[in-house]
Amino acid sequence: MKIKTKLNIGVGLLFVMIIVLSILSAWYINQLKKDTNNILVANYNTLEYSRNMLLALEEVNSDPLAFDVFEKHLEKQRKNVTEPGEKEATEKVVTHFVALKKNPENSALKSSIRKDLTELMQLNMAAIQHKSSIADDTAQNAITMISIVGMLCFIMAFILMVNLPSNIADPIRQLTVSIKQIANQNYKERVHFESSSEFGELARSFNTMAEKIQEFSESKIEKILKGKKRIETLIDNMSDPVIGIDENRKILFINDEALTITGLKRENCLGKLIQDVAVTNDLVRTIIKDIIEPENRTKNEVMKIYAYGKESYFEKDIVDINILPTGEQSTQFIGQVIMLHNVTPLKELDVAKTNFIGTVSHEFKTPISSIKMGLQLLENDKVGLLNPDQLNLVNGIKDDTNRLLKITGELLDIAQLESGSIKLNIKPSKISDIVDYATEANRASAEQKNIRLITRIDSDLKLVSADLEKTSWVLNNLLSNAVRYSYENSEIIIEVKRETDKIIFSVTDTGQGIEPQYVSKVFERYFRIPGTKKEGTGLGLSISKEFIETQGGTLKVKSEYGAGSIFTFELSAV
């Protein structure tokens, strides 16, 4: 608990108790005042009236006005009846007084009146004694309650006096001792306050300071310099260009490979802002583009640079350096390292692979065509009739030949895409031609599974800016996949609509769908979802994506496992 909170609670309770004590005192004083007033006002007046009536009674024979005085005080008494039995006693006095007025010489009546007045005075004296006893009890209760509340206030004040100074002074004393230890170079000293108060926060800050001082004292400048030298030597001997900058983008180090490809000199760039160096160096400007505009950063970007006497390829990688300072909860950014990995040998191998695939695919087409021609001759009845076994064998060879021809075509498309030699003929194309080509190509296989092909094309859509052949191939591939993986007696929807300046093609099926962990991988080359039928090469979706993106569009998939998939691609409207 915070010390401020403790003070507020303690002083607040003490203040409340003082207010309670004041209220109790005022209440009891008021009660005593009421009891005193009851004695003085009511009973005292009755005694006064009775005394005056007795005096008037004694002068009845000598003073003619005595009856009037007696009667006046008797009326006042009749209006001042407050005690039990007082009314009856007063009425007796009235009765005897009326009789006395008729017979003033009757001494027996005077004696009865004296007796009645004496009884009246005794009643009021007894009442005075009773009320005095009540007042004494009230005073005693007041003394008791005020003493109890006062004692509670005293106890609370005593507790505050005993505990509060120690709660404040003891941590300060312990902190003072620890500070003296730190001053004596005992940097292992720590303060341990198991508290969430201000002293607990102070202890944590003190311990953090002590840890940093200890860390600094235990680090040797010689070790630091040797470590720095090792790192510099390691960086200088790396075969890849490396540039290091601090959080303010000042160049901290640059190795020989980076100096070679940039044409810089170490003394002209160390300690300078890298953006200032980029002003006079086009290559550095290109390298730091992602640092200046981090929102446009592309991971593992491949750059073509003329180096080592030829065109070379480098994969750029920018690594942010973050550290966790001692005693801190969050990391701190202290700079970046720019690394250029020389991938020229890999690029050359990739080009060789592409050329090999293109050559082999092209060379395969001729013998495959010859096989197909031979199969056509075997199927011709003029050459000779085939028995059922021979016909089944020919059909098997024909299916394998078609599959091999499809694989060869896909490999050839991949080779053209990788080499950049693919030619696109983007022009206004009829949407109906693209959709009709795909539906007609897959109608037979759909009918075999009793699958309905439903086309929905907005009535005002006629043309799309696209390569008719490549786009038809993509839609055909998406539709053939949908037919292959849909259940029997289902339906597939081919929909074309417009959104702003884009034409959206979509193929929706109600098949099994794609498991979430595989959705992001379906466009990778040679990827096939585990457990699916052993059909295809795993290249169709990859080629489709390349065809669409080459035309400036996008190809996406949205799938719910167990409910089906929606493949969508968009192209520019005319």
- 334 and 430 within one domain: no
Position 37 scores a pLDDT of 61
Position 418 scores a pLDDT of 59
Task: Let me know: does 434 contact 394? Beta carbons within 8 Å.
Answer: no
- 56 and 111 within one domain: yes
- 120 and 99 within one domain: yes
Which tops the pLDDT comparison, 40 or 186? 186
- 439 and 383 within one domain: no
Position 567 scores a pLDDT of 95
Strand order in the sheet with 251-254: 251-254, 242-246, 332-342, 310-323, 301-307
- In the three-class reduction of DSSP (H, G, I as helix; E, B as strand; rest coil), residue 73 is classed as helix
Distance, in Å, from the CA atom of 123 to the CA atom of 90, rounded to the nearest integer, reads 11
| Contact residues for 87 (Cβ-Cβ < 8 A; gap 6+) | 81
- 273 and 134 within one domain: no
> Is the pLDDT at 354 greater than 60, yes or no?
yes
Q: Looking at the 3D structure of the chain, how many domains does it have?
A: 4
Distance, in Å, from the CA atom of 200 to the CA atom of 198, rounded to the nearest integer, reads 5
pLDDT band at 127 (very low <50, low <70, confident <90, very high): confident
- 155 and 36 within one domain: yes
Helix (H) or strand (E) holding 554: strand 554-560
- Integer CA distances (angstroms), 524 to 48, 408, 485, 518, 542, in order: 120, 18, 19, 10, 6
pLDDT tens digit string along 270-300? 889 998 888 888 888 888 888 888 776 666 6
Which tops the pLDDT comparison, 473 or 131? 473
pTM: 0.42
pLDDT tens digit string along 24-34? 777 777 776 66
pLDDT tens digit string along 364-406? 777 877 887 887 877 777 777 778 888 888 888 877 787 677 6
Task: Let me know: does 217 contact 188? Beta carbons within 8 Å.
Answer: no
- Integer CA distances (angstroms), 33 to 104, 132, 149, in order: 44, 12, 22
Phi/psi at 202 (5° precision): -65, -40
- 355 and 288 within one domain: no
Distance, in Å, from the CA atom of 418 to the CA atom of 347, rounded to the nearest integer, reads 11
- 157 and 91 within one domain: yes
Position 193 scores a pLDDT of 67
Residue 192: inside a domain, yes or no? no
Residue 185: inside a domain, yes or no? no
**AA identity, residue 339:** M
Position 557 scores a pLDDT of 93
**Helical axes 66-78 vs 44-58, angle rounded to 10°:** 160
Range in 124-133, 199-208, 277-286, 293-302 with the lowest mean pLDDT? 293-302
Phi-psi region of 426 (alpha: psi -120 to 50; beta: other; left: phi over 0): beta
Position 176 scores a pLDDT of 83
Using the Cα atoms of residue 98, residue 126, residue 83 and residue 33 in order, give the sign of their dihedral.
positive
What would the mean pLDDT of 154-178 be, rounded to a whole number?
A: 75
> Is the pLDDT at 39 greater than 60, yes or no?
no
- Between CA 136 and CA 143, with CA 140 as vertex, the angle to 5 degrees is 140
Q: Can you give the length of the chain in residues? A: 574
> Is the pLDDT at 85 greater than 70, yes or no?
yes
> Is the pLDDT at 207 greater than 90, yes or no?
no
From the CB of residue 77, how many other CB atoms can be counted at a distance below 10 Å? 23
CATH number of 538's domain = 3.30.565.10
**Assigned token pair, 417:** 């895409």
- 88 and 50 within one domain: yes
- 388 and 280 within one domain: no
pLDDT band at 431 (very low <50, low <70, confident <90, very high): very high
pLDDT band at 509 (very low <50, low <70, confident <90, very high): very high
Q: What percent of the chain has pLDDT over 70?
A: 86
DSSP state of 573: B
pLDDT tens digit string along 116-125? 888 888 888 8
Position 536 scores a pLDDT of 60
- 549 and 457 within one domain: yes
pLDDT band at 358 (very low <50, low <70, confident <90, very high): low
Which tops the pLDDT comparison, 148 or 196? 148
Look at residues 394, 419, 444 and tell me which one is the last residue of a structural domain: 419
**Assigned token pair, 421:** 């030699």
**Distance, C-alpha 136 to centroid of its chain:** 69
Residue 540: inside a domain, yes or no? yes
Residue 308: inside a domain, yes or no? yes
Q: Virtual CA dihedral for 405, 407, 411, 414, nearest 10 degrees?
A: 120
Q: Which of 17-26, 199-208, 382-391, 480-489 has the highest mean pLDDT?
A: 480-489
Residue 316: inside a domain, yes or no? yes
Closest residue by Cα to residue 494 from 439, 443, 572 = 439
What would the mean pLDDT of 292-313 be, rounded to a whole number?
A: 76
Residue 183: inside a domain, yes or no? no
Residue 211: inside a domain, yes or no? no
* Average pLDDT for the chain: 81
- 377 and 301 within one domain: no
pLDDT band at 413 (very low <50, low <70, confident <90, very high): low
Distance, in Å, from the CA atom of 549 to the CA atom of 425, rounded to the nearest integer, reads 14
Look at residues 307, 324, 341 and tell me which one is the last residue of a structural domain: 341
Residue 184: inside a domain, yes or no? no
Range of the domain at 452: 426-572
Position 186 scores a pLDDT of 79
CATH number of 332's domain = 3.30.450.20
Q: Which of 15-24, 101-110, 144-153, 429-438 has the highest mean pLDDT?
A: 429-438
pLDDT tens digit string along 217-253? 666 566 777 777 888 888 888 888 999 999 998 998 9
> Is the pLDDT at 407 greater than 70, yes or no?
no
Distance, in Å, from the CA atom of 528 to the CA atom of 530, rounded to the nearest integer, reads 6
**Assigned token pair, 471:** 């786009």
Phi/psi at 522 (5° precision): -65, -20
Which tops the pLDDT comparison, 319 or 35? 319
Position 314 scores a pLDDT of 87
Position 568 scores a pLDDT of 95
Closest residue by Cα to residue 323 from 333, 312, 309 = 333
Classify each residue of 102-117 as buried b or exposed e, where b means 16 or more C-beta atoms within 10 Å of its C-beta.
Answer: eeeeeeebbebbbebb
What would the mean pLDDT of 460-472 be, rounded to a whole number?
A: 90
Using the Cα atoms of residue 14, residue 16, residue 20 and residue 23 in order, give the sign of their dihedral.
positive
Using the Cα atoms of residue 215, residue 216, residue 217 and residue 218 in order, give the sign of their dihedral.
positive
Using the Cα atoms of residue 381, residue 384, residue 388 and residue 389 in order, give the sign of their dihedral.
negative
**Assigned token pair, 154:** 């005293």
The residue assigned the tokens 């007046």 is 45
The residue assigned the tokens 């759909």 is 446
Position 521 scores a pLDDT of 87
**AA identity, residue 429:** S
pLDDT band at 16 (very low <50, low <70, confident <90, very high): confident
**Assigned token pair, 228:** 């720095």
Position 439 scores a pLDDT of 92
